[in-house]
Amino acid sequence: MSVARKLPPPNPTRRAPLAKADAEAIPMPPEAVDGADAATAGGSTSTEHIVHAVTRAIVEHRLLPGEKLVEQKIADRFGVSRTIVRQAFNRLSELKLVRLEPARGAFVAAPSITEARQVFAVRRMVEGQMLRELVAVITTAQLRALKAHLREERDAVKRIDVQARTQLLFDFHVELARVLGNQVLVDLMAELVTRCSLITLMYQSADDAETSHAEHIAILKAIESRDADAAAALVDEHLLTVEHQLTERPRAPHIAHRTRSA
């Protein structure tokens, strides 16, 4: 006589299946398009390629907060070893863009609402002073370059190119930092705006790329007029507008692409 197999009771603490990131969502860097450079470059260069590509995918909202990053798939995509991928994950973890969990792997970071507000507070402090200093030193050539950037923004907004406009809207703030020739400031701004990309994916309640673009135009006009007080006030208002749109609870991932960028 057969004995019915007794099934174990359900485990109420069992985790839900993890959403895994599609490695194809991570763009290949120009240096590795043909695959040869990625395979033959030194470990440091390959690591930097992956860090840059994952960061770009986060900024462009190709990767969602909480998604699992699969080592082997990313290694295959870039033609490198899993050791190189782990090195990239460690660097991304230092930048607060990836969360590492023992025995579970790497996940796109999912910042808390408290962290989100702290990041915006830091941006307001940094960018206000940055613009005051920038107004005193910016050159005509640098103004032309920023205007060209805003034209690209405008075109991306008009054609509703979500990935391009998101990248350009965030990059505007990094390009402002670049004017001062301070690489530490440029790196800091790049880190802050990328973390803001994750924040807007999770918590922002409105989508208004056109308004963000219009605010960028107003900021640049104040810079061109050499009005430091106006430029600083405009960037503070710009960042506060986005911060005030943050909700207290994370939004559903399926609407993550509908966010405004600062």
CATH (domain of 125): 1.20.120.530
CA angle 235, 152, 238 (to 5 degrees): 15
Share of the chain above pLDDT 70, in %: 76
User: Do residues 85 and 160 both lie within one domain?
Assistant: no
Q: Which domain holds residue 78?
A: 23-108
User: Do residues 35 and 77 both lie within one domain?
Assistant: yes
Domain final position from 84, 108, 132: 108
Let me know if residue 3 belongs to a domain. no
Element (H, E) at 244: helix 228-244
User: Do residues 85 and 152 both lie within one domain?
Assistant: no
Let me know if residue 261 belongs to a domain. no
Of 165, 217, 204, 170, the residue nearest 189 (C-alpha): 170
Q: How confident is the model at residue 9 (pLDDT cuts 50, 70, 90)?
A: low
Residue 251 identity (one-letter amino acid):
R
Let me know if residue 8 belongs to a domain. no
Residue 117 identity (one-letter amino acid):
R
For residue 68, the SS3 value is strand
Let me know if residue 67 belongs to a domain. yes
Question: Tokens 């900021």 identify what position?
Answer: 219
User: Do residues 162 and 83 both lie within one domain?
Assistant: no
Largest CA distance in the chain: 92
Let me know if residue 97 belongs to a domain. yes
- Alpha-carbon distance of 74 to 82, in angstroms, equals 8
Of 131, 117, 118, 120, the residue nearest 234 (C-alpha): 131
User: Do residues 153 and 232 both lie within one domain?
Assistant: yes
Domain final position from 108, 123, 153: 108
pTM: 0.73
Helices (H), 98-161: 113-137, 140-158
CATH number for the domain that contains residue 47: 1.10.10.10
- Alpha-carbon distance of 144 to 119, in angstroms, equals 30
Q: How confident is the model at residue 97 (pLDDT cuts 50, 70, 90)?
A: very high
Share of the chain above pLDDT 90, in %: 55
Q: How confident is the model at residue 230, as a pLDDT?
A: 98
User: Do residues 153 and 101 both lie within one domain?
Assistant: no
Number of neighbouring beta carbons within 10 Å of residue 23: 16
Q: Could you tell me which residues are beta bridge partners of residue 107?
A: 68, 99
Let me know if residue 152 belongs to a domain. yes
In which order are the strands placed within the sheet that holds 98-101? 68-69, 105-108, 98-101
Q: How confident is the model at residue 24, as a pLDDT?
A: 65
Of 20, 126, 148, 134, the residue nearest 72 (C-alpha): 20
User: Do residues 130 and 202 both lie within one domain?
Assistant: yes
Query: Is residue 203 a contact partner of residue 116, using CB atoms and an 8 Å limit?
Result: yes
User: Do residues 79 and 190 both lie within one domain?
Assistant: no
* Overall domain count for the chain: 2
Q: How confident is the model at residue 131, as a pLDDT?
A: 97
Higher pLDDT, 97 or 27: 97
- Alpha-carbon distance of 4 to 87, in angstroms, equals 49
Q: Could you tell me which residues are beta bridge partners of residue 108?
A: 98
Q: Between the CA of residue 7 and those of 2, 10, 16, 58, 167, what are the distances in Å? A: 15, 9, 20, 42, 51
